[in-house]
Amino acid sequence: MWRRALFGNNPPVSSNDPHGGGGPGTGEAASRVVPASVATERRRDLQGVRALAVLLVAFNHANVPFLPGGYVGVDVFFVLSGYFITGLLLREGLGGEHGRAGDRATGRISIPKFYGRRARRILPAATLTLAVTAVVVYLVYDVWRADVLATRPVLLDELAAALFYANIHFAATATNYFANAAAGLPSPVLHFWSLSVEEQFYLVWPSLLAVVLLLSRRHGAFDRRRAVRLVGIVLVLVCAGSLAYSIHDSYTSPQSAYFSPFARAWELGLGGLMALLAPAAARLRPALRVVLGWTGLAMVLAAALLFTSATIFPGYAALLPVLGAALLIVAGLHATRRGVDRVLGIRPLAYVGDRSYTFYLWHYPTLVIAWQAAGHVLPVGDNLALLAGAFALSAVTFHFYENPLRFARWLRGWRTVALVPISIGTSVTAIMVPAVVVEGTLVAEAQAAQKVIVPPLRPAAGEPDPISLLAAKPIPALVQAAAAVRRNAPLPKVLVPDGATLARENVLISYDIPHGCQPSFGAGITSKICKLGDPTSDKVVAIVGDSHGGMWVPGLLRVARAQHLAVVVLDKPGCFVNRVHTNLPGFPCADWYRWAIQQDRKLNPVATLVAFKLSGGYLEDHPVTTTAELGSVMRTVRHGVWLEDPPGQTQKTAACITAPGATQRTCSSPETASYKNLVHHIQSMLVTRHLQWIPTVQWFCADNICPSVVDHMLTTHDGDHLTMPFSAALGPLEAPELRRVIAHFSR
């Protein structure tokens, strides 16, 4: 039966106006001419699937609590897009079962016509969204909130979206899809990553399919059966290879895997396989397709309800919604009485499905820009109201702009080719005009920051000794900064680092650690052993920890050069002290820890500075467990010295200093009771075991006040990690402490 269905001469199954391809909810226009014995004239059920998918994504972005896995709607779109686009290509190349009645198998695909359809479908709406978003971002972020630090990276994000490499851009900047950006809020065009994935797939797939059809010729004549077999083999290989890559990369590099076209190609490929098998699948018994349909819907909903941001995705987990979407495609190939197609085909869902592409484009900028205007993520009720407004905007755009351009007779032939540079040029122009203004502001800030003379940080009178460590006095600069907080003084007009530098630090910072001398965030286990500071010295100071170990490097290098010490960094970002004995998915911290301890013993350092992030979350709330873990590390390393982790800020630095009416007081944080309790537990353990430590809280807080700004310097670039200038400025304070602990171990 399957052989007859695939190779026979029965009338075809073709796709309805899909909306799909080029991102969630997009697609090719195609008239559906299929006999009633195969399916209804229009697949309203798939429009309903599209509506379900876009609503899952939108509600997830709106933080609806019962849909933590709503992001799987994008995966459903990928399958639908692969189904529709491949179906159209097969109709053109194979004819017969995959084309309109009477279509003849030509064995050829018109690549120009394909991209012409894609351009008319994708570019007008995407161009309008990006252009409007760029203007509104500038008005809200820069003019209203004076947040040039947030404006610049968003405009760079928009440029990546306009050129369809947003997924690569977000992966390269270490963006976590499920985490807020450094300024406290995500990019309003983060959702364009999915359009980029699809367009990258369709840069390759039509040409590959054309080559397969060309190879299907025998003695100059097109062999349709051979073509179907070869297309099937290619699709199976693409799906298998991409799925294997997705599973591997999701565990080893979870952030990049989420955006990777190689990790997502199998989802589009599976949709293509469904298009190839549609004639055979249409002959399944109705009762079986009813079961398959409800099963597919249950699989998609289960993923949306049960998955969370902690789910390793895509990987194995993506099989649940992706296979569910494939079953939904099969289920509606014939109309049923009790099948899921009856529910998904209702008019309200079809109406939403028709506008799903435009709604997908508008919904995320609407949410994020409103959050930016408010200065925080809004409650769910407000977000749902914003989604309603975004849908109304999408309905207007669909009726008066998108469809008129999409089906305009004058926008055919060479005019379609002209649409590409016009659309891209419009988007880029709308982005670059505010970008030039922003860059001018950043240059002015940088020039002003270079003229600022920051007094050196000095310790309080008298160097602390082991007896006085528990009562170290705040440094004078902190006392002055705390006084400015109490009188609610305005922030300095010029801050160090300047806006452009802080924006770069927010994205990616190496803290003067050369490339390759530190394991990467996530999968990396080992690195080169690099001697920094004075590399000729035989006296080595090692640093073991996470990114909170690396953040001290600028100041320590100044000390090391002055005291003729070599510094070796053995830290790994992301491996907190409570992770060092555990391998988590994508974070092989136990393996790294064993390697770091082995290297530390080989180096035989005069002191090993142990520095992990302790403030915030689980670590603060479980002082006994955290202290025990830290004590285990201190006993294991050679000449261990605890480099006290300072309390972090309770708010993001960039969001704080750019907020309307920001002052020294609004940009300060208290030492929390839980942090003080944790420090007390750790210090008691160190005293009891006669272990060494360097107190640092007095460098960051005075009278229970921890300012964000000290002597024009921002203390942290993200509320958590030190800025490069402040880290370097701590060198004079670290110098006597390092001499003290080294002298202790030399006795």
Mean pLDDT calculated for residue range 317-330: 96
Angle of helix 261-281 relative to helix 192-215, nearest 10 degrees, comes to: 60
DSSP 204: H
Which residues on adjacent β-strands are paired with residue 567? 532, 541
Cα–Cα distance, 53 to 307 (Å, whole number) = 15
- The percentage of the chain sitting over the pLDDT mark of 70, rounded to a whole number, equals 82
Please give the Cα distance from 225 to 234 (Å, whole number). Answer: 14
Check if the beta carbon of residue 549 is closer than 8 Å to that of residue 517: no
pLDDT at 184: 54
Average pLDDT over residues 19-41: 39
Amino acid identity for residue 671 in this structure = E
Query: Before 188, cis peptide (omega within 30)?
Result: no
Distance between CA 730 and CA 722 in Å, rounded? 10
Burial of 411 (0-12, 13-18, 19+ CB in 10 A): middle
Which pLDDT value is given to residue 133? Answer: 94
Question: Which residue's structure tokens are 């540079």?
Answer: 421
- pLDDT for residue 158 is more than 80: yes
Query: For 232, what's the count of Cα atoms within 13 Å in the CB-facing half-sphere?
Result: 13
| Backbone torsions φ then ψ of 536, nearest 5 degrees | -85, -10
Q: For residue 550, is pLDDT > 70? A: yes
Cα torsion for 214, 215, 217, 218, to the nearest 10°?
A: 160
Q: Which of 21-25, 153-157, 511-515 has the lowest mean pLDDT?
A: 21-25
Both tokens assigned to 498: 């300047």
pLDDT digits (tens, 9 = 90+) for 361-415: 999 999 999 998 887 889 999 999 999 999 999 999 999 988 887 777 777 665 6
Instruction: Identify the CA nearest to 446 among candidates 393, 494, 382.
Output: 494
pLDDT value of residue 51: 96
Question: What does DSSP assign to residue 542?
Answer: E
Q: Torsions phi, psi of 642, nearest 5?
A: -80, 120
Residue that wins the pLDDT comparison between 701 and 437 = 701
d(CA 11, CA 14) in angstroms, rounded, equals 10
Is domain 507-648+673-697+721-746 given the CATH code 3.20.20.80 in the classification?
Answer: no
Tokens, residue 471: 């009562």
pLDDT of residue 470: 52
Burial (CB count within 10 angstroms: exposed 0-12, middle 13-18, buried 19+), residue 218: exposed
- DSSP single-letter state for residue 716: B
List, in order, residues 6 or more apart from 407 with CB less than 8 Å away.
Answer: 29
State the pLDDT at residue 443: 63
Q: Give whichever of 210-219, 412-421, 435-444 has the largest mean pLDDT.
A: 210-219
7: pLDDT strictly greater than 50: no
Q: Give me the pLDDT at residue 109, please.
A: 85
Highest mean pLDDT among 255-264, 318-327, 528-537: 318-327
Query: What does the pLDDT look like over 568-597, one tens digit per residue?
Result: 999 888 888 877 777 766 678 888 899 999
Ranges 170-184, 553-567, 583-597: which has the least confidence:
170-184
**pLDDT (mean) for 70-84:** 95
- Torsion angle of the four alpha carbons 50, 54, 56, 62, in this order, in degrees rounded to the nearest 10: -170
pLDDT at 111: 87
Angle ∠(107,46,98) on CA atoms, nearest 5: 15
CA nearest to 691, candidates 733, 738, 622, 642: 642
User: How buried is 142 (Cβ within 10 angstroms: 0-12 exposed, 13-18 middle, 19+ buried)?
Assistant: buried
* pLDDT of residue 150 exceeding 90: no
The C-alpha atoms of residue 48 and residue 58 are separated, in whole angstroms, by: 15
Q: Which residues are bridge partners to 714 per DSSP?
A: 709
Q: Would you say residue 451 has pLDDT above 80?
A: no
Rg (CA), the chain: 30
- Which region among 7-11, 214-218, 461-465 has the lowest average model confidence (pLDDT)? 7-11
Neighbours of 739 (CB within 10 A): 13
**Helical (H) or strand (E) element with 569:** strand 566-571
- Counting Cα atoms < 13 Å in the Cβ hemisphere of 274 gives 27
Other CB atoms closer than 10 Å to residue 338's CB: what's the count? 12
| Residues sharing a CB contact under 8 Å with residue 441, sequence separation 6 or more, in sequence order | 142, 148, 499
CB neighbours of 19 closer than 8 A, spacing ≥ 6?
A: 25, 26, 27, 47, 50, 84, 353, 354, 356, 357
In the predicted structure, residue 218 carries a pLDDT above the cut 80: no
In Å, what is the CA distance from 148 to each residue of 141, 373, 709? 7, 14, 18
Fill in the DSSP letter of residue 694: E
Q: Which two tokens stand for residue 367?
A: 């949410």
Per domain, the residue ranges of the chain are 2-183+192-435, 507-648+673-697+721-746
Count how many residues are written for the chain.
Answer: 747
pLDDT number for residue 21: 46
pLDDT at 15: 36
- Which residue's structure tokens are 């399919």? 209
Say yes or no to pLDDT of 460 above 70: no
The 10s digit of each residue's pLDDT in 480-533 is 889 999 999 888 888 888 776 776 776 567 788 888 888 877 667 888 899 999
Q: Is 738:559 a contact under the CB 8 Å cutoff?
A: yes
Residues 246-253 have a mean pLDDT of: 88
User: What proportion of the chain, given as a percentage, has pLDDT over 90?
Assistant: 43
- Per-residue model confidence (pLDDT) at position 456: 62
- The two structure tokens encoding residue 542: 């090692």
Lowest mean pLDDT among 80-94, 98-112, 384-398, 402-416: 98-112
User: Does 672 score more than 90 pLDDT?
Assistant: no
Q: Is 191 helix (H, G, I), strand (E, B) or coil?
A: coil
Backbone angles phi and psi of 533, in degrees to 5: 75, -110
Closest CA to 569 of 592, 536, 588, 587: 592
pLDDT for 439: 63
Q: Which are the contacts of 147, defined by CB distance < 8 A and separation ≥ 6?
A: 141, 183, 372, 654, 655, 658, 659
pLDDT at residue 422, rounded to an integer: 74
Residue 325 has pLDDT above 50, yes or no: yes
Q: Strand 668-670 vs strand 705-707: parallel, antiparallel, or unpaired?
A: antiparallel
CB 713 within 8 A of CB 492: no
Contact 257, 71 (CB under 8 A): no
- The confidence score (pLDDT) of residue 555 equals 92
- Among all chains, which residue has been given the structure tokens 């090993």? 608
Which two tokens mark 546?
């996470």
Q: Where are the beta strands (DSSP E) in 593-665?
A: 607-611, 640-643
Predicted confidence at residue 190, as pLDDT, reads: 94
First to last CA, the chain: 87
Say which DSSP state 37 is in: T
